[in-house]
Structure 1
């Protein structure tokens, strides 16, 4: 467990002091139920002032300011934006940058966050991978974006596939399951046409197929459904819930 229960720092990034990478949890904020308490989602019915206060609290605990955050209104697609500054865009589910002082952020509440770092070229990416984005190959596209934009080599990259709804709780239709390889799904016993889908396995597989070494990929052991006391779950809470932030960025040189 992390020292601060309000967020989790992926261990794979710990050797790099100039990098910030973290995933928020739902605790330690100021929002009331059903958004209790660290709701960081702008597109919820929570009070905007409380969300702003929560964001400032979370980011300051990491040593950052909200004005440094780059993010996009996500659309469950696979488009990736190169963010040279703290942009606020629409229509992108991935961001990449090589600019110090810019913190990339994606919101989550069952979908998988994927964070990537290349310590050689000093470049990062943050990806929002729901089933649609995962089926569209957003993890592999994120690796390719780092290659094309910043000259990154996949074998040098490190990645974190973050907390999302786990396969034990993520039931999907046969039409959705058909878009994923067999290793990432299993039929639900006694319910023909229903499947369990493993978003973590699907994104980890994409990263490996894109050239990342298996030992360079960390996968979260947590589940938004099973660990609902720590994480928001859109499915378990039937839409009336908050959002977490997964962030990654290169700190300004002192």
Structure 2
């Protein structure tokens, strides 16, 4: 299942051979949080103890060989706004973050929504994207990929992308009004209700942007809840993982 028992993060195979790259997704293992937040909760806006969240973040960053001050994160609002940054810190109301230079690690919080990481090994620019159904419908992944090409001289054929752990189609039951936003290949009826495939929908956006070097995580946050937080399975009271990407100096 996991590469090692109870490790704090997983590294996608597509990124493993890139020097100085820090990229992956945290798990729920190896932290100090308790109860519903057990144990590596990184969600700043959860009702977990603040000092536990900060300690968890420190432990993860220690493993990654970076400082917590290098992280660029944001309070996410299920929109399609992109924060382009050359500094670390915490902003409000961005669902995609582009780290425009080495030394900064872009990170997004997740607990069922789909995380997408995009890395340009040539320009040393990275993006971390949070795409729930609203962000997916708003084309946040395609928008972010296009920004990399248009603003940072990235070439789509050189970009590497990872679609991380999220709620799988089997478990993502939606109403007809949500299903209407997705193509026939991105949804299916299981019983009376539609089920949406967030991974496939965001894969299509990466492909539309000209990216073809893509890895898709096998993990579902509900099926593999022992390793990942799930907002839906845990009835809204749970922690957050972080999907992150950036180059060290």
The residue matched to 1:117 in structure 2 has which SS? strand
Distance 1:43 1:28 in 2: 20
1:71 corresponds in structure 2 to 73
1:11 aligned onto 2:10: no
Aligned 8 A contact 2:119 2:161 in 1: yes
Query: Gaps (5+ residues) in structure 2?
Result: none
The residue matched to 2:129 in structure 1 has which SS? strand
1:51 aligned onto 2:70: no
Q: TM-score, normalised by structure 1?
A: 0.95
1:211 corresponds in structure 2 to 210
Structure 1 stretches of 4+ with a deviation exceeding 6 A read none
Aligned 8 A contact 2:30 2:40 in 1: yes
Aligned 8 A contact 2:72 2:99 in 1: no
1:2 aligned onto 2:3: yes
After superposition, residues 109-128 of structure 1 pair within 5 angstroms as: 109-128=111-130
1:222 corresponds to which of 219, 234, 244: 219
After superposition, residues 172-251 of structure 1 pair within 5 angstroms as: 172-189=174-191, 191=192, 194-213=193-212, 216-251=213-248
Shift of 1:153: 1.4
Distance 1:140 1:35 in 2: 32
The residue matched to 1:236 in structure 2 has which SS? coil
How many residue pairs match? The answer is: 247
The residue matched to 1:247 in structure 2 has which SS? strand
For residues 138-162 of structure 1, give each alpha carbon's deviation from its aligned partner in whole angstroms, at most 9, with x where no partner exists: 1101101111221111111010000
The residue matched to 1:134 in structure 2 has which SS? helix
Distance 1:35 1:143 in 2: 33
Aligned 8 A contact 1:119 1:157 in 2: yes
Q: TM-score, normalised by structure 2?
A: 0.97
Shift of 1:125: 0.5
Distance 2:90 2:34 in 1: 26
Q: How large is the Cα RMSD of the aligned pairs?
A: 1.0
Aligned 8 A contact 1:80 1:145 in 2: no
For residues 29-82 of structure 1, give each alpha carbon's deviation from its aligned partner in whole angstroms, at most 9, with x where no partner exists: 100111000000000010000000000001110111111110111000111110
1:135 corresponds to which of 134, 137, 152: 137
2:158 corresponds in structure 1 to 156
Query: Gaps (5+ residues) in structure 1?
Result: none
The residue matched to 2:37 in structure 1 has which SS? coil
The residue matched to 1:34 in structure 2 has which SS? helix
Aligned 8 A contact 1:7 1:22 in 2: yes
Shift of 1:122: 1.7
Distance 1:52 1:129 in 2: 24
2:41 corresponds in structure 1 to 39
Aligned 8 A contact 2:115 2:164 in 1: yes
